[in-house]
Structure 1
Amino acid sequence: MDKALISKLSSFSVLYAEDEEGIRNNINEILKQLFKKTFVAKNAKEAFNMYESNKPDLIITDIKMPNETGIELIKKIRKRDSKVRVIITSAHTDLDYMLEATELHLVKYIIKPITEGKLFEALEAFIKSYDTARVYNLKEGWLFDESKSLITTENNEFKLTKKENQFLKLLIQKNRIITYEEMENIIWTEDNIMTPNAMRLFIKNFRKKLPENTLRNIQGTGYRLVLD
């Protein structure tokens, strides 16, 4: 598992539901070394309560659990959350199980036994699922969700204005200096003149929502995003 993938996983939280204690403990040992936060449940009811309290980025759940199956758990969650990523594990290769699970928009369906290879492949698919969702890793622990105009850290959320969202997307996608002229043409509209005071206030407020020292001013030219 490469360092880049490990670094990306460290920005996310995961909820793992498994009723078999041995499997639960073994997989938890791996997950807690990779994710920012790891929540572990031994049944669907416990998992649902943890989901509601913590809103994890990823749910990994076994299908067969006492009283309520993993599929029933995810169906309940899907009624209120269409975006949380889901990986299902199961000892079953039954087609009906797999078809029902597929309807829940899964990242991956892992057939037990869960090897490190299978788990890491599924976690890689989880990270790749964000490639088309316009979610960017700014720095360890910092995520930018373009569709929500939101930057999240472990302890904070920063809502971006329309201009801030456009500017950050431009900085990331171009990966170069964005000139003052480009800022005026792309971010500012004809109804809003980019005066020096307006620019200074915009940058001052924008910097407060970014990791420290990541927005660099290139004197007389424009701005560049520097992500280590």
Structure 2
Amino acid sequence: MKKVDKSLFENLTVLYVEDDDMTVEEISFFLKKYVKKLLIAKNGQEGIDLFKAHKPNIVISDIQMPIKNGLDMCEEILKIEEDFPIVLTSAYSDGDYLIKAIELGIEKYLLKPINMIEMLAVIQKSLNLGKQNKLCDDFDDYVQFLLDSNPSFMFILHGEEIEYANKNFLKQLGHENINSLKEASKLCKDIFTLENLEEDENWIDYIVKNSDKSHLISVKKTGHNLKSEFFVTHKYFKSTNKSVLIFIDTQEQKLKKIENITNQILNKNLEKKDYINGLEKINKICAL
């Protein structure tokens, strides 16, 4: 058997849609050795539901299935995310279905019975794995440099997993590196608390739903009971399933407000009443 570089697949989430139990068992046993997460659906409708819930990296699907066939499922997926990588598994008798597949722009196929190594090769080709490793490493370094150059506290999520965090943020939380933060946060659910959050609701999900405004969040420093408060803003990029979160220290924001009011007082010939109002605003900010 040809040697396979497992590292190419170790971070992938694969959605496999197949209604034949024996085929599912065989493919699952093989793929679970390589990919990070394998999602199994028994028909096209289950496939759509899992796709929406988990946002996999690639979909591998049979064509003829009950409830909703593979092509109808693929058509819905491509409406949600154009150019999403899809691989169809087909038998020789599926010729009529392949015409519709071509119309949908699906170009990757695996002929049944499926050759396992060929399946990995198709996944690799569909996602351009391995060909751009050096470029990806350089890009990772570039992103990290940009984050570290920013005085704000920032991190980037891929789905729900922390992918990057700048040094300022790690230092503030008492972590030496990104792996330490990942371990402590357990997908960002343990060290972050958000006001007005319902029980068992993920704070990231809440921010995503209300991304048009800033949110006050408390962040627990590792090894300490002390908490820092930040206003956090969120921007989601659908094409990459990545989110950028920017944390602004509440104390820093207070100082900026005080500075703005002070400049207004100093730069204008204010009446005594307006001057007093300005000082009262500063006192209120300090009391928060």
Distance 2:123 2:161 in 1: 25
Distance 1:137 1:80, change over 3 A: farther
Q: Note the C-alpha offset of 1:42.
A: 0.8
Mapped pair 1:85 → 2:90: no
Equivalent of residue 161 in structure 2, options 156, 159, 170: 156
Higher mean alpha-carbon deviation, 17-26 vs 88-97, is at 88-97
Q: Note the C-alpha offset of 1:152.
A: 5.1
Equivalent position amino acid for 1:75 in 2: E
Equivalent position amino acid for 1:136 in 2: C
Q: Note the C-alpha offset of 1:116.
A: 1.8
Counterpart for residue 74 of structure 1: 74
Higher mean alpha-carbon deviation, 107-116 vs 97-106, is at 97-106
Where does 1:27-42 land on structure 2 (aligned, <5 Å)?
A: 27-42=27-42
Distance 1:36 1:117, change over 3 A: closer
Q: Note the C-alpha offset of 1:105.
A: 3.6
Counterpart for residue 49 of structure 2: 49
Distance 1:28 1:113 in 2: 14
Give % identity: 25
Q: Note the C-alpha offset of 1:131.
A: 5.3
Counterpart for residue 231 of structure 2: none
Equivalent position amino acid for 1:108 in 2: K
Distance 1:154 1:34, change over 3 A: farther
Q: Is the 8 A contact 1:17 1:62 kept in 2?
A: yes
Q: Is the 8 A contact 1:107 1:129 kept in 2?
A: no
Q: Is the 8 A contact 1:13 1:58 kept in 2?
A: yes
Higher helix proportion, which one? 2
Distance 1:94 1:83, change over 3 A: closer
Where does 1:60-139 land on structure 2 (aligned, <5 Å)?
A: 60-92=60-92, 94-106=94-106, 108-128=108-128, 136=136
Counterpart for residue 170 of structure 1: none
Q: Secondary structure at the match of 2:92?
A: coil
Distance 1:85 1:211, change over 3 A: farther
Q: Note the C-alpha offset of 1:55.
A: 0.5
Name the structure, 1 or 2, with higher relative contact order (CA <8 Å, separation 6+): 1
Q: Is the 8 A contact 1:8 1:137 kept in 2?
A: no
Q: Secondary structure at the match of 2:104?
A: coil
Distance 1:63 1:56, change over 3 A: same
Q: Is the 8 A contact 1:61 1:88 kept in 2?
A: yes
Unmatched runs of 5 consecutive residues or more in structure 1:
161-201, 214-228
Distance 1:3 1:22 in 2: 24
Equivalent position amino acid for 1:50 in 2: L
Q: Which has the larger radius of gyration?
A: 2
Distance 1:43 1:94, change over 3 A: closer
TM-score of the two chains, using structure 1 as the length reference: 0.58
Counterpart for residue 59 of structure 1: 59
Q: Please give the per-residue CA displacement for 1:143-190, whole angstroms capped at 9, x wherever unaligned.
A: x99xxx996568524579xxxxxxxxxxxxxxxxxxxxxxxxxxxxxx
Q: Note the C-alpha offset of 1:118.
A: 2.6
Counterpart for residue 188 of structure 1: none
Distance 1:81 1:22, change over 3 A: same
Mapped pair 1:12 → 2:12: yes
Distance 1:206 1:8 in 2: 28
Q: Note the C-alpha offset of 1:36.
A: 0.7
Q: Secondary structure at the match of 2:110?
A: strand
Q: Note the C-alpha offset of 1:212.
A: 5.9
